Structure 1
């Protein structure tokens, strides 16, 4: 698993990204991975890639997409204008989990955030994802804040 390449996603990658997003207990309830893929996914991809500082980073192994993460760079006024990085939707293909791909992907995103001048990387993870909590803690993330959401 040492020959992992990282690149930004293109529109052609959207089905593979959605497949990985849908490939777990929570994602299977939230996503619609079907053929044809709902247009909403393509519209969302176009909107996020049109926004400065918003991208989906892919991990590839032997030409196959095996991981993804949405990475956002967020300017702010607090903390003397510190820029933040936010990572969302981190997934690894179920057939390749347990081989360090997720760690390499997140570490790559951390390096991109440092290059961008970010002072912190933040994320949210569902309370039910105990394995994900351990994964992020092992990478140095700290549960420092309480996240809240309001469905609209």
Structure 2
């Protein structure tokens, strides 16, 4: 008799996920050290206005999503997905949809009825994904960066 593999589990991230989140960030083009990721994850997980969810298959993460609440003077309180990475081998498996759904539920639990996501113009494979799950493109913008001396 062949064992049936259970569906990969979706859960809030924990500090033990730092190494796998580091691996997935590198896959997306944001390499970092485990030490730096552990520090960042500690800050994010201890803040009440941010959450990270992961999909895990055994001891391997198939993806993660970060979502946070923000309050600005011009728009008030809003939610934004600030990161979404799905392992290259797990893409088109429903993992991304599950992660976005978890983030949307978390946003609803915090009393909001909308969420924003920003996607780099060069990530053309991501745009149809977001549009396919109901996101509507609102605008394009330039992002400026300055190193402070």
User: What is the TM-score normalised by the length of structure 1?
Assistant: 0.81
1:84 to 2:78 alignment: yes
Q: Which runs of 5+ in 1 are unaligned?
A: none
Using CA pairs below 8 Å that are at least 6 residues apart, which structure has the higher relative contact order? 1
1:7 to 2:3 alignment: no
Gap change, CA 1:64 and 1:129, over 3 Å in 2: same
Which residues in structure 2 correspond to 1:101-116 (within 5 Å)? 101-116=95-110
Gap change, CA 1:76 and 1:4, over 3 Å in 2: farther
Which residues in structure 2 correspond to 1:62-141 (within 5 Å)? 62=58, 64-76=60-72, 81=76, 83-141=77-135
Question: Going by fraction, where is helix more abundant, 1 or 2?
Answer: 1
- Give me the whole-angstrom Cα distance separating, in 1, the residues matched to 2:123 and 2:19: 24
User: Among residues 47, 50, 61, which one is paired with 2:46 in the alignment?
Assistant: 50
Gap change, CA 1:141 and 1:96, over 3 Å in 2: same
Count of residue pairs the alignment pairs up: 142
Gap change, CA 1:136 and 1:8, over 3 Å in 2: same
SS in 2 for 1:23: helix
CA RMSD of aligned residues (A): 2.2
Query: Which contiguous aligned blocks of 4+ residues in structure 1 show a shift greater than 3 angstroms?
Result: 75-79
SS in 1 for 2:119: coil
User: What is the TM-score normalised by the length of structure 2?
Assistant: 0.82
1:17 to 2:32 alignment: no
- Give me the whole-angstrom Cα distance separating, in 2, the residues matched to 1:15 and 1:127: 28
The Cα shift of 1:38 comes to: 4.3
> 1:39 aligns to what?
35
Q: Which runs of 5+ in 2 are unaligned?
A: none
**Higher Rg:** 2
The Cα shift of 1:146 comes to: 2.8
- Give me the whole-angstrom Cα distance separating, in 1, the residues matched to 2:9 and 2:110: 20
User: Among residues 125, 144, 149, which one is paired with 1:150 in the alignment?
Assistant: 144
